[in-house]
Structure 1
């Protein structure tokens, strides 16, 4: 009769390549499992066989793998031998859950500083809010495309706090995070394929900003109908700047209108970034908020590090602003102090800046726009002014002119009418048309 090792003997054998043992699920009077101490284990037919083996984990630590439910010791040892024949990463994949792998992947990214802090924070929100609740319990080695598809379908059917379906772009972002994590798992040998590839996600329609024309403004004022995303036309922007010209942050609002800086970039500017002699403003950092904590970090992309030229009007505005700030600070302006602050001199957060802008818009009764929409408008003004596209893209801090044209640059009605008149004039040079009331007759 083959006897299984006791708990003491099993503990002594843990340093061996692997061990097979027998235990049962009987419980004593206290309700606890008897395990190795069950007297019934004296009988060969009592209990089930298990094995325990240690392998090198992908995290550099030894991982113990235990598996049971075998009828005989031979079955347990055969399964153990099969597991030991696998590469260690593949063996680990049979024990690690998707949730454990995702947390390990995030820790690796943070340890190697592979992405910006704000990007990592976004990854964590996706992992904790969507991926672990939906897929975290599944073994990495058992994850299949069908399971991922069903999970993303469930996520896509959720509703936001406003009652709308979750945005298609959000679902795309969730899939991208999972795909990246599983790509890393594949590179380490943990899995043989990426279950997040070939996944169907909602198509969604990108909300392209439109211009607040007089017709759209009337519709909004009469019926409350408004575009999802819209930017002001030139008269709206002019009304705003005229109304806030005595505002203590007028230099900031002017800078947004002229160069379309991101709100994090505005909050991250310091006095050392402003060169009124050379008439330049340098964007080096941006302020980001992670878990309620404000941090200074690099711009959104490498193209975000840029030097912007200032015109003579901008120089006059900033000279006046500097004089006023020096008076409020007792004549002392440290080069490392924030360029723009709150009333009490404390640094401004990007979300605070958003609220300040919205409050001023509401007070003025202007059509609603986001602060970021002024950035769209700034790029569009460049187009109306005939600024070369490459220069506009550089000023906006875009990595590609495609982003500038496809997403940010819109055509103002005045520009559209002026340009179509040029096109019509060119055609009329070569088409001798007799014009009459109600239209043109053929020549």
Structure 2
């Protein structure tokens, strides 16, 4: 039978032991983490609990229930999970939105950032002992890194600690620095003109001349271009079937799907460059369906660094030392926007999964505003 008191209730169990419970400030019933051999021990426990509630009210502190205190004591008794080990495990077990493991290049990139920028500071630290002050101090010290690298390191740290919250290793993430995850504003790119595209293409080795023209006018990513094979060119419809891409992690090229599901697409080849593509297929591509369009001298995939060795001379010949290879894709997207491609059309042509990236290319080109102004005037003139 239960014995009601001014504070709490004591009940004798069939086993002869005593159970103590009480209604807490949260209006929930809480019981002692264990039963008591003697009634007096149950009374002492209730008195201590009552005193803890009174002290919390008097000091305006948050009252902690016995269940929370028990959980905290168990966590302290458990072996400490160290950040370095947890971070490495996080990378291995990480899955994308489709439940797939990280791609080799992404995984390697995470591993490098973890080893160089996070482990030296947090590697041996128990993950539940990393504080906001620790994170702020680390972020200040890593300030010497390039802005994009610094943002990438912060983003990885935040993602790992957010997962630690989900795994109930910590109550809340200590990674909260306003603006720290934002990357620096990207450099402004002046798209190449059609004449500059031609000059750069002519300055490339003959077997790679078409690579510049296709990259610029079809706006392909480098990994998509480097994996193009004869079977990917639809001669009848004059289009490129983008179905794969190659990445270059340490250890060698890895062929996989394009960057996103939207990257699987058909890209129409502008009629004025089709003769260039046709000639390239005839002169430089082996007749087998799996023959690469732009292989290295060893007939394998040509690494980005290898292509850049040729492109650096080509861009100098065109007076465009400011251009990077990826800017050819930017050029193609901008040219498509200039001739009236809608955001949806750009998104499809470029293989973007969202419209945000496609909208970046719908910026004004040189003298474009003057053309708009002149067209507005024609409305008044009735022409």
TM-score by length of 1: 0.64
- TM-superposition CA deviations, 1:262-302 (whole Å, max 9, x none): 11111111222111113221112211111242111222222
Partner of 1:260: 219
SS state at 1:249 partner: helix
Alpha-carbon distance in structure 2 between the residues aligned to 1:88 and 1:268: 56
The CA RMSD over aligned residues, in Å, is 3.0
Quick one: which of 270, 279, 290 aligns to 2:249?
290
- Find the aligned partners of 1:172 and 1:399 in 2 and give their Cα distance: 23
Q: Secondary structure at the match of 2:248?
A: strand
Counterpart CA distance in 1 for 2:153 and 2:123 is: 14
> What's 1:172 paired with?
151
- In structure 2, what is the Cα distance between the partners aligned to 1:147 and 1:87? 22
- Paired residue total: 314
1:342 deviates by: 2.4
1:220-277 CA distances to partner (integer Å, 9 max, x unpaired)? xxxxxxxxxxx32344234334x35982222222111211111111111122211111
Question: Do the aligned partners of 2:333 and 2:346 also contact (CA within 8 Å) in 1?
Answer: yes
Structure 1 contact 94–139 (Cα < 8 Å) conserved: no
1:131 aligns with 2:90: no
Q: Which structure dedicates a bigger proportion of its chain to strand?
A: 1
Question: For 1:422 and 1:258, how far apart are their aligned partners in 2?
Answer: 27
317-326 or 370-379: bigger deviation: 317-326
Could you say if the C-alpha distance between residues 376 and 88 of structure 1 is closer, same or farther in structure 2, counting changes exceeding 3 Å? farther
For residues 112-134 of structure 1, what are the alpha-carbon distances to aligned partners after superposition, in whole Å with 9 as ceiling and x for unaligned?
Answer: 74322222122111101101112
Show CA shifts across 1:21-58 (max 9, x none).
Answer: xxxxxxxxxxxxxxxxxxxxxxxxxxxxxxxxxxxxxx
Contact 1:280 1:307 in 2 (8 A): yes
Q: Pick the aligned partner of 1:236 from 175, 184, 196.
A: 196
Query: Structure 1 residues 412 and 200 mapped into 2: Cα distance closer, same or farther (>3 Å)?
Result: closer
Deviates more, 1:82-91 or 1:339-348: 82-91
CA contact (8 A) 1:377 1:409 kept: no
Q: Distance in 2 between matches of 1:380 and 1:151?
A: 40
Q: Secondary structure at the match of 1:282?
A: strand
Distance 2:77 2:274 in 1: 62
2:132 paired residue among 145, 148, 155? 145
Mark the runs of 5 or more structure 1 residues left unpaired by the alignment. Answer: 1-81, 159-165, 212-230, 431-443
Q: Which runs of 5+ in 2 are unaligned?
A: 1-66
- 1:208 shift after superposition: 4.1
1:34-433 correspondence to structure 2 within 5 Å: 86=71, 90=75, 95-109=80-94, 113-156=100-143, 158=144, 166-201=145-180, 205-211=184-190, 231-241=191-201, 243-244=202-203, 247-325=206-284, 329=286, 333-406=287-360, 408-426=361-379
Alpha-carbon shift at residue 155 of structure 1 (Å) = 0.5
Look up the SS of the partner of 1:191 in the other structure: coil
Change (3 A) 1:383 1:199: closer
* Equivalent residues of 2:199, 2:314 under 8 A apart: no
- Deviation per CA, 1:315-334: give whole Å up to 9, x if none: 332222222135xx5xxx22
Paired residues of 2:192 and 2:328 also in contact (CA < 8 A): yes
1:182 Cα deviation after fit: 1.3
Contact map agreement 2:224 2:258 (CA 8 A) in 1: yes
Worse-matched range after superposition: 364-373 or 381-390: 364-373
Other structure's SS at 1:290 match: coil
TM-score (norm 2): 0.73
Secondary structure of residue in 1 paired with 2:259? coil
Instruction: Check the 8 A contact 2:227/2:245 in 1, yes or no.
Output: yes
Aligned partner of residue 106 in structure 1, secondary structure: helix
